[in-house]
Amino acid sequence: MCPRYQSKPTLPQVSYDHWFGLQNLNSIDLMKEQAVRAAELGCELFVHDAAWFAGGFPNGVGNWDVVDHEKFPDGLEPLADYVRSLGMAFGLWFEIERAAPGTSAVEKHPEFFFETHQFTDWGPWERQQYHLDLSRTDAQDWVIETIGGWIRRLDLRWSRWDYNIEPMPFWDIVDRSGKIQYAYMQGLYRCLDVLMKEHPNWMVEQCASGGRRVDLGTIRRGHTFWFSDHTDTASCCRHMQARANRFLPGHLLNSSVMVPHGHGDDGYDDTAFLSRMLGKLAFDGDIASWSSAVTGRARHWAGAFKAIRHLLVEDFYQLTPDPRDANDLDVLQFVDYTGAEAAVFAFAGGQPCAESV
């Protein structure tokens, strides 16, 4: 069911994404600093998340043809070229199904959006939003051309396909029978199917405010999933990846080692890295603030991950019950289908998360 990549089973790539830790604190110079460190860690992909467009995030969502020239005066090409010069592939974030008022997508193509718009109750996002109507073939074609244009322009090898909007208020006003939902999802699938066929070197990371769109339809159209925005607590990331491995292959479970801006070394012991290695391993934020010691530790574990990542798409066994107190161990095993090779992770117990996720 999971898509193959270049005719082979998809293996989890070691990647960097700037968002968690830096968010709108992005610029060409800061991104180049992170790229140098990402290459030192052994990252294979460098992904610029949201806020590469005019207006930043969330106010600029929809400005897909307007780069933020204050932060990137010569466009995104110099950053993409620099990333490739360091031996990594370049990726870019999109949330093509949503748009903020006054952005390019809404102004140029108002007919592509549902006629209604809503206010969300998500804190600072309490503002009007527009939702693309992918039941329309012309809107689908626009998505394919817009994202395909960026893939060709920047030689993108990865995109985070995000979705931070509640669709039901839009769908219900149009049609409460459910037919619009079916037509919409068929349109979304067409966009992804066409783009993945036309660009076989491009990988898709599915995301929807974390893991709100992990379903059989998107699993067929996603090489991995950003399955939770909770990425700052090692024990929580470990618990989520471990439990999700019961029903999803590990390469779909992307979690990252997150570094806040200017944070430095505090809190990045071996467990911080091992706790994100039960699925796809990633790094986020200000990794350039790490010392050489932590950088070396991260590089070591990134290399270890690459040596065992092929096992994440084969058999998985939880060898101990879920830990409930500090005396319990959490022991997990990945085994190849022949039984000839295995990797075992053993963690000290305790409550996996203090927060609800």
Which residue ranges make up each domain of the chain?
Answer: 15-226
Cα 95–Cα 47–Cα 130 angle in degrees, nearest 5: 10
CA–CA separation, 132 and 105 (whole Å): 9
State residue 351's pLDDT score. Answer: 55
Give the number of other CB atoms < 10 A from CB of residue 121: 8
Whole-prediction pTM value? 0.95
15-226 CATH pick, 3.40.50.300, 3.20.20.70, 3.40.640.10, 3.40.630.30: 3.20.20.70
β 89-94/45-48 pair status: parallel
Across 93-108, average pLDDT: 97
pLDDT digits (tens, 9 = 90+) for 279-307: 999 999 999 999 999 999 999 999 999 99
pLDDT (tens digit, 9 = 90+) per residue, 39-79? 999 999 999 999 999 999 999 999 999 999 999 999 999 99
Local confidence band at 1 (pLDDT 50, 70, 90 cut-offs):
confident
Q: Using CA atoms, how far apart are residues 10 and 43, in angstroms rounded to an integer?
A: 16
In which band, very low, low, confident or very high, does the pLDDT at 325 lie, cut at 50, 70 and 90? confident
Model confidence at 122, pLDDT cuts 50, 70, 90, reads low
pLDDT at 118: 65
Taking all residues of the chain, what is their mean pLDDT, rounded to a whole number? Answer: 94
Residue 203's pLDDT is what?
98
pLDDT of residue 125: 53
Q: How confident is the model at residue 356 (pLDDT cuts 50, 70, 90)?
A: very low
Amino acid letter, residue 207 = C
**Distance (Å, rounded) from C-alpha 16 to C-alpha 31?**
11
350 pLDDT tier (thresholds 50, 70, 90):
low
Question: What pLDDT sits at residue 120?
Answer: 59
